[in-house]
Amino acid sequence: MSGPDIGELRRRLTLEQAQRVSDGAGGFTETWVEVATVWAALRPSGGSEAVEADRLAGRVSHEVVLRYRPGVTPAMHFRLGARVFHILAAIDVDERKTWLRCQCEERDL
pLDDT digits (tens, 9 = 90+) for 65-79: 999 999 999 999 999
Percent of the chain topping pLDDT 70? 96
In a domain, 20, yes or no: yes
What are residue 49's DSSP bridge partners? 58
In a domain, 1, yes or no: no
In a domain, 2, yes or no: no
The CATH number linked to 77 is 2.40.10.270
In a domain, 19, yes or no: yes
In a domain, 4, yes or no: no
Could you give the number of structural domains in the chain?
Answer: 1
In a domain, 90, yes or no: yes
In a domain, 3, yes or no: no
- pTM of the predicted model as reported, rounded to 2 decimal places: 0.83
Rounded-to-integer distance, Cα 13 and Cα 94, Å = 23
Containing domain of residue 47, as a range?
13-107
In a domain, 7, yes or no: no
Rounded-to-integer distance, Cα 69 and Cα 36, Å = 10
